[in-house]
Amino acid sequence: MTTDPLDALAYRLIAGRPLVLRDGTYPYLSRGDGRWAGWQRQLARLAMPGLAAAGWAYPAETRAVALGATLGVGSWAKRSWKRRRFRRAYVSPTVKAIRVPVGTADVELEVDPGLGRLVARLAKPLSPAEEQARAWYGEHVEPIWRRPTELGADAWDTATAPLQPRLERLRTWVSRPKPQHGPRIRLTIAAPYVTSEQRSLISAIVRAKIPVGGELVESWDQVGHEVTATWVPRKRPPAKVGLTQLEVHGAGLSDDVFYLGQGPGDQAITVSLAADSPHIAVSAGSGAGKSVLAQLIAVQILRRGGRVIILDRKGSHRWALGLPGVTYCTRPEEMHDALIAAAAVADRRNAEALHQPEDWNPGHRVLVICEELNATIGQLAGWWADNREKSDPKRSPAIAALAEIAFMGRAAKHHLLAVAQMLTARALGGPECRENFGIRCMARYTVNAWKMLVPEASMPRASRTLGRWQVVVGGVAVETQVCYLTAAEARRYAHVAATSGVACDMQVNGPIKANCDDRDTVTLREAVDRGLVPWKWNAARKRMERGVNDPPKPTGKDGQAYLYDPEQLADWGQR
């Protein structure tokens, strides 16, 4: 007797058998070769008409349930898709490669899903079309959602902070106990022994094919019938790094090397403005610590007798107000003058360097911090358009100066630290200019920002830890907890140089307008005008009169007005 195929299908449907039969066993009570046991499949199928009927009868409730289910299924699908992609990209090829040294023995490789978070997204080169699309997206679309989501995440963190201990207890109560060892890679080879050559080959394969950020600690166990090997990633960077570490690791660095923070396994991370790159690009979401990073490099430069020029409309660097060696520009005309002066010095040094030996020291180091590259260029262009004479060139000389500094090599000891989401600034020379920024620091990045700024490096997951950066040099990203200094610590650390009298050799080194006269006394009104204190004149006067936050004592009098030490005023402004 032949069976109608449709009847057979109906039977399989109702009986909980797989609809498409492949080789294998499909028992009713246990899982067999299928994903589900027969009874589970049967239950799911038979429940379906019932659910449909219920949906018909209670549409509103059904919609709510369906929405929940869709979200749940969506997040599950995303997770399993990621896991699959991870297996396909990393695990399977590694197993394939390991088969070569071990021959016919069975190989089993287990990679904890937790490691999937550490493993970088593979770097793929961008086509010009993709690059253009990403630049456009990054400039026009991403800012719309990025800021609100970051603010939302911050608000959530702040709001749930008091609840965290309880949430943590709840989490440990409902979740299965985690293994003590943390995420790891575990390899089992069904052979009683592997030689040391095989071991070193296998080790090299695992390290090459599963590029977990940071180093792996390896151990082999050859006892028994099988051989097992385990790799555990070295400890992630510490959660917080501060002045103590800077004092330990920042001491004794050579003149061009700067301390950034602690990396995997708590090793000190430094960059060299001579060997790595003279210029630094910084890209990060708001509140991720861009100004803190810029401050960290600035204080080290100041401490070694260098100069810092800050182009910043928002006043993110109050710590630097009134410090010797700092030129703080908040208005476009100040930025204009400072940039042109700095580029002139750099240019002179560059020309001179040609006639000097390789290790010639041109003088103090200069760091230009540009807090928002694109906006700054826009402001400089706008100001120039309003203020230039008819006979002046169309292009703002300050923008030209900025571009010139960005193209300076290490010999001139002029460095640009540019905060730029994408570094697409055409005014600086577009994509070619990007090459000048060989040190790139990324935090709270999006895929888009990463691909635009460091297309050559694979992308690790962005961390939510404050101050956790990826420092990319030569295509290699190193996870770094950047050292955080409070404003007072930064001032104190930077200020050591001031006592050695480095700040006032302007005439020798060129016309950089620093605050030499700032160390004389100022009136309160002058302090307000210069932005030494964050208040308007009236508010500052009232605070002074009422003695809010212990204001400084006057050091003298100029006619009717009291005179103050600008240092002390700036400190007061930060209390």
Ligand X SMILES: Nc1ncnc2c1ncn2[C@@H]1O[C@H](COP(=O)(O)OP(=O)(O)O)[C@@H](O)[C@H]1O
Question: Is residue 552 within the footprint of ligand X (CB under 6 A)?
Answer: no
Q: Which residues have C-beta within 8 Å of that of residue 275, sequence separation ≥ 6? A: 256
Question: Is residue 284 within the footprint of ligand X (CB under 6 A)?
Answer: yes
Question: Is residue 484 within the footprint of ligand X (CB under 6 A)?
Answer: yes
* Residue 32 binding partner per list Mg ion, ligand X, none, with a CB distance cut-off of 5 to 8 Å that depends on partner kind: none
Cβ-contact 485, 491 below 8 angstroms? no
Give 66-113 as a DSSP string.
HHHHHHHHHHHHHHHHHHHHHIIIIIHHHHHHHHHHHTTS-EEEEE-H
Rounded to a whole number of angstroms, the minimum distance from the CB of residue 240 to ligand X is 6
- With H, G, I as helix, E, B as strand and everything else as coil, classify residue 363: coil
Q: What is d(CA 156, CA 147) in angstroms, rounded to the nearest whole number?
A: 14
Strands (E), 423-505: 439-443, 468-473, 476-482
Question: Is residue 292 within the footprint of ligand X (CB under 6 A)?
Answer: yes
Question: Is residue 368 within the footprint of ligand X (CB under 6 A)?
Answer: no
Question: Is residue 94 within the footprint of ligand X (CB under 6 A)?
Answer: no
- Smaller CB distance to Mg ion: residue 262 or 316? 316
Q: What is d(CA 115, CA 233) in angstroms, rounded to the nearest whole number?
A: 9
Rounded to a whole number of angstroms, the minimum distance from the CB of residue 373 to Mg ion is 13
Q: What is d(CA 90, CA 208) in angstroms, rounded to the nearest whole number?
A: 10
DSSP class of residue 319?
G
How many beta carbons lie within 10 A of that of residue 367, not counting itself? 26
* Residue 80 binding partner per list ligand X, Mg ion, none, with a CB distance cut-off of 5 to 8 Å that depends on partner kind: none
Q: Which of residues 301-360 bind Mg ion (CB under 5 A)?
A: 316
Rounded to a whole number of angstroms, the minimum distance from the CB of residue 77 to ligand X is 34
State the number of binding residues for Mg ion (CB under 5 A): 3
How many beta carbons lie within 10 A of that of residue 21, not counting itself? 10
- With H, G, I as helix, E, B as strand and everything else as coil, classify residue 543: helix
* Residue 484 binding partner per list ligand X, Mg ion, none, with a CB distance cut-off of 5 to 8 Å that depends on partner kind: ligand X
Rounded to a whole number of angstroms, the minimum distance from the CB of residue 484 to ligand X is 3
Q: Which of residues 313-352 bind ligand X (CB under 6 A)?
A: 316
Cβ-contact 494, 502 below 8 angstroms? no
Q: What is d(CA 466, CA 273) in angstroms, rounded to the nearest whole number?
A: 25
Closest residue to Mg ion, Cβ-based? 291
Give the residue from 466, 416, 476 showing the smallest Cα distance to 443. 466
Question: Is residue 482 within the footprint of ligand X (CB under 6 A)?
Answer: yes
- Smaller CB distance to ligand X: residue 482 or 514? 482
State the number of binding residues for ligand X (CB under 6 A): 14
* Residue 288 binding partner per list Mg ion, ligand X, none, with a CB distance cut-off of 5 to 8 Å that depends on partner kind: ligand X
* Residue 466 binding partner per list ligand X, Mg ion, none, with a CB distance cut-off of 5 to 8 Å that depends on partner kind: ligand X
* Residue 467 binding partner per list ligand X, Mg ion, none, with a CB distance cut-off of 5 to 8 Å that depends on partner kind: ligand X
DSSP class of residue 251?
T
DSSP class of residue 450?
H
* Residue 284 binding partner per list ligand X, Mg ion, none, with a CB distance cut-off of 5 to 8 Å that depends on partner kind: ligand X
Measure the N-to-C terminal CA separation of the chain; round to a whole number of Å: 94
Applying CB under 6 A, the span of 65-73, 188-196, 286-294, 427-435 interacting with ligand X comes to 286-294
Give the ranges where 161-267 is alpha helix by DSSP (H). Answer: 164-174, 196-209, 243-249
- Smaller CB distance to Mg ion: residue 134 or 290? 290
Query: Contact with ligand X (CB under 6 A): which of 109, 271, 341, 466?
Result: 466
Give the residue from 468, 288, 267, 295 showing the smallest Cα distance to 367. 295
Question: Is residue 376 within the footprint of Mg ion (CB under 5 A)?
Answer: no
Rounded to a whole number of angstroms, the minimum distance from the CB of residue 314 to Mg ion is 7
Rounded to a whole number of angstroms, the minimum distance from the CB of residue 419 to Mg ion is 7
**Amino acid at site 253:** L
- Smaller CB distance to ligand X: residue 319 or 384? 319
**Amino acid at site 423:** L
- Smaller CB distance to Mg ion: residue 189 or 369? 369
Q: Give me the 271-290 binding string for Mg ion, x by CB under 5 A, dash otherwise.
A: -------------------x
Give the residue from 250, 109, 252, 248 showing the smallest Cα distance to 185. 109
Applying CB under 6 A, the span of 220-228, 283-291, 447-455, 504-512 interacting with ligand X comes to 283-291
Q: Which residues have C-beta within 8 Å of that of residue 255, sequence separation ≥ 6? A: 304, 365
Give the residue from 233, 270, 231 showing the smallest Cα distance to 248. 270
Q: Which of residues 522-541 bind ligand X (CB under 6 A)?
A: none
Question: Is residue 427 within the footprint of ligand X (CB under 6 A)?
Answer: no
Closest residue to ligand X, Cβ-based? 467
What are the beta bridge partners of residue 109? 187
Q: What is d(CA 548, CA 562) in angstroms, rounded to the nearest whole number?
A: 17
Question: Is residue 373 within the footprint of ligand X (CB under 6 A)?
Answer: no
Q: What tokens appear for 179 in the block?
A: 């293994």
Rounded to a whole number of angstroms, the minimum distance from the CB of residue 308 to ligand X is 16
Q: Which of residues 212-251 bind ligand X (CB under 6 A)?
A: 240
Pairing of the two strands 366-370 and 414-419: parallel
- Smaller CB distance to ligand X: residue 231 or 469? 469
- Smaller CB distance to Mg ion: residue 316 or 396? 316
Rounded to a whole number of angstroms, the minimum distance from the CB of residue 427 to Mg ion is 21
Rounded to a whole number of angstroms, the minimum distance from the CB of residue 316 to Mg ion is 4
Question: Is residue 421 within the footprint of Mg ion (CB under 5 A)?
Answer: no
Cβ-contact 331, 403 below 8 angstroms? no
Residues in contact with ligand X by the rule CB under 6 A: 240, 284, 286-292, 316, 466-467, 482, 484
Residues that bind Mg ion (CB under 5 A): 290-291, 316
